[in-house]
Amino acid sequence: MKNKENLTDRDWQELAGFMSEETEIKSEKLKQFIAEDSYNTEKEWKELKGMYDKEPINVDKAWNKVITQINEASTNNLKTHGKSILNRRILIRIAAIALILLSIGAAAVYVIRTDAQNKKIIAATGNDEKNLKVILPDGSNVFLNRNTRLSYHTNFGSEGRVVELTGEAFFEITPDESNPFTVYAGEAIIKVLGTSFNVITSNDNSEVEVFVETGHVMLYDESGNQNIQLDPGFIGTLSQDSSDKKLNENPNYMAWNKGLLTYNGQTLNVVFHDLKKVYNMEIIADDKEILDLPWAITIDNQPQDTIIRLICASFTLSYTKDGDVYYLKKK
């Protein structure tokens, strides 16, 4: 086991990768680092944990401390052979805070890091995580769905409020008439002053969809040839060849963010599609007739096992589970 004197430059570079484009350190790698420099990390962890033990743990507050340390590290980093080597003390402190988050099951859920070379803050979610809340420097909130990446410049606010998005996210923008908020998503540009809206980019970034919950949004392409003004309740789509605007008629459109699904006679085929998107819950029926059954119910952030039991009880079905997949059949 390594102590702090025996850690190599490569070790520190790998941990620095937690905030860079070079490597995404997963929880096991972080645990390994903590174990290899256990004395200093444990010391920091005890000092910091004492602060959190005095009040209920606030994950956002704890993670913001991590981001603060990362930003300080990016400003004061050392350059060795063209790579960013972070100050040892800062790294140990970051690891200690991350250990607190790991202990409450929070840190392995997503990645937030600093790309020091391009001076960007990057937040990203994987396939199993959603609703990562990112608080921007201006106080705006962004909630990331699964498989989503949000980035913004380290000087965000001072030279405009600009972010880049791939995937899906819900924005709650702090009003500032003198400093419009801009989202670059695929081939589209979205401009607002202060509003709440949802953005989805297609897998290849060729199409962008925007739903406005409050306020007003301008959606246009990079060439400026296509533009749409969206009011509350409307959805706008923009691709290279076309644009469209329509009133949202799906009450479950924002269910991925709210966790609330409401049905009034929709088929189980529709329900299963929504459950896949909202709860990452895959359900397969062995009989097509099951998919055509109508259902009236409200699902409000229930566990997956509770949801599948509700389905079975409603239609006299049974289920088996293999891995993460539920299989339904008639009794």
Q: Per residue in 182-217, pLDDT tens?
A: 999 998 999 998 899 999 998 887 899 999 999 999
Single-letter amino acid code for the residue at 173: I
DSSP 52-103: HHTS---HHHHHHHHHHHHHHHHHH-EEETTEEE--HHHHHHHHHHHHHHHH
- For tokens 């994950």, the residue is 59
Looking at the chain, the domain(s) classified CATH 2.60.120.1440 span: 119-249
CA distance 12 to 133: 28
CA distance 87 to 329: 58
Looking at the chain, the domain(s) classified CATH 3.55.50.30 span: 255-330
CA distance 106 to 83: 29
Q: How many residues does the chain have?
A: 331
SS3 177: coil
Predicted local confidence at residue 4, as pLDDT: 42
Predicted local confidence at residue 75, as pLDDT: 55
Q: Are 275 and 307 in contact (CB under 8 A)?
A: yes
Q: Tell the burial category of 94 from Cβ atoms under 10 Å away from its Cβ (0-12, 13-18, 19+).
A: buried
Cα within 13 Å of Cα(273), Cβ side: 10
- Joined together, the tokens standing for residue 88 give 């040892």
Q: What is the pTM of this model?
A: 0.67
- For tokens 């699904």, the residue is 261
Phi, psi of 76 (to 5 degrees): -110, 20
CA distance 250 to 255: 10
Predicted local confidence at residue 55, as pLDDT: 41
- Joined together, the tokens standing for residue 30 give 């972080």
CA distance 84 to 247: 49
CA distance 228 to 116: 36
Predicted local confidence at residue 88, as pLDDT: 53
CA distance 92 to 241: 51
Give the domain 255-330 fold: Phage tail protein beta-alpha-beta fold (3.55.50)
DSSP state of 50: H
Residue 205's alpha-carbon distances to 199, 236, 298, in angstroms, are 12, 15, 33
CB atoms within 10 A of CB 27: 14
Single-letter amino acid code for the residue at 156: F
Predicted local confidence at residue 90, as pLDDT: 52
Per-residue pLDDT tens over the stretch 200-259: 998 887 899 999 999 999 999 887 778 899 999 999 999 888 899 999 999 999 999 999
Predicted local confidence at residue 141, as pLDDT: 94
Q: Are 137 and 157 in contact (CB under 8 A)?
A: yes
Predicted local confidence at residue 107, as pLDDT: 37
CA distance 324 to 299: 20
- Kindly give the pairing relationship between strand 149-153 and strand 132-135: unpaired
Predicted local confidence at residue 87, as pLDDT: 53
Single-letter amino acid code for the residue at 78: L
Q: Tell the burial category of 24 from Cβ atoms under 10 Å away from its Cβ (0-12, 13-18, 19+).
A: middle
Predicted local confidence at residue 101, as pLDDT: 47
CATH architecture assigned to 119-249: Sandwich (2.60)
DSSP state of 10: H
Q: What is the pLDDT along the chain (331 residues), one digit of tens a residue?
A: 444 444 444 544 444 444 343 444 444 554 555 455 544 444 444 444 444 343 444 444 555 555 555 555 555 554 444 444 445 555 555 555 554 444 444 433 455 566 666 688 888 888 878 888 999 999 999 999 999 999 999 889 888 999 999 999 999 999 998 999 999 999 899 999 889 999 999 888 789 999 999 999 999 988 777 889 999 999 999 988 889 999 999 999 999 999 999 999 999 999 999 999 999 999 999 999 999 999 999 999 999 999 999 999 999 999 999 988 999 999 8
